[in-house]
Amino acid sequence: MKAYVFPGQASQFVGMGKDMYESNVHAKDWFEKANEILGFRISDIMFNGTEEQLKETAITQPSVFLHSVIKAKIAEAFIPDGVAGHSLGEFSSLVINECLSFEDGLKLVKERAEAMQDACDRGIGTMAAILGLEDKVVEDICFGLDDVIPANYNSPGQLVISGTHKAVELAMEKCLEAGAKRAIRLQVGGAFHSKLMQPAQERLQAAIEKTHFNKPICPIYQNVNAMASSDPAVIKVNLVNQLTSPVRWSQTIRHMIDDGFDQFIEVGGTGSVLRGMIRQIDRNVMSESL
C-alpha cells in the first residue's frame, strides 16, 4: 500500500513553490487564492523572501502547508491508501484525503500559526534534539524534571524535547551524561508540543469546532496516538490535542508498516526530511519524494 506523508515546520526553503507557480496555471490559481485568504501575498515571501522571514512561525506554517498541498494537487499521481503528517503536516494530510477543503485547511493553519506565534512571543520555551540515546532513557530524564517533556519521536535515536529554557538545558546536560551522542538546541521560537502551547491550543480548538470536517477518502494516522482514523469527530479531537502532546512519528510509521504500507511518498518541503526518518525507522520500506 502507498501513503502520502507531509512534513512540518523546518522543511521550508527560500524559493519554495516558485517553479510550480511559473509552470502550472492551476498552481498559480491555488497560490493566488491563498494570498486572498491570508490577506497578504505569502507567495512573494515564499518565492523571494529571506530565510529569516520564512522562519517566523506565522509565515512558516502556511508556507509549508501550501507547498505540500499544491504540489500534491497538481501531481494527482494516485489516490493514497492512507496519509500522515508530521505536526503541521497533519493539516496538509487532511486536505489531500478530502477531510478538509483547501480553504478551511489554510484558514486553520493560519489560526494555528498565529496562535503559536503569540505563545512563542512570550519567550519562555525552547526545544532540543537528543541524538544517540534510547527513548526510554530520555523519557526517564524528562519525567524526572519539571517543565520539560519528550516532544517529537522522530526515529530511533532521535528524540526532541520541549519545555522552558532552564529545564531543556538541564535535560540536555543529563542526556549527555547518560551517553547521548549529541544534544542540539533547535532554532525554534517556542516549546512546541508541550503545555506551554496551552493558550494556542485553546484558540485553535475554538476554530476547529467551527470548521466542517468531511468523511475522508482514506484514513489519516495521527500524531497523538499514531493510529489510523476516518472519523471526523475523532480527527478533530486529536488535532486539538496535538499542540500540547508529543508527535509520535516513529510509532506512526511502524503502525503503518504493520498495517501493510510499504511505500511512502514525501510531499513538500525539501523532500528529504521525512524520508530520512523513515529510513532510520525501517530500511526495508520504499520512501521517495514527489
Active-site choice (68, 87, 155, 162):
87
In the chain, the N- to C-terminal Cα span, in Å, equals 16
Is 93 a residue of the active site?
no
Active-site choice (63, 193, 250, 289):
193
C-alpha span between 178 and 167 (Å, rounded) = 16
CA 9 to chain centre: 6
Residue 95 contacts residue 133 (beta carbons within 8 Å): no
Q: Computed over its alpha carbons, how large is the radius of gyration of the chain?
A: 18
C-alpha span between 79 and 76 (Å, rounded) = 8
Burial class of residue 56, CB neighbours in 10 A (0-12, 13-18, 19+): middle
Is 87 a residue of the active site?
yes
Q: Which residues are catalytic?
A: 87, 193
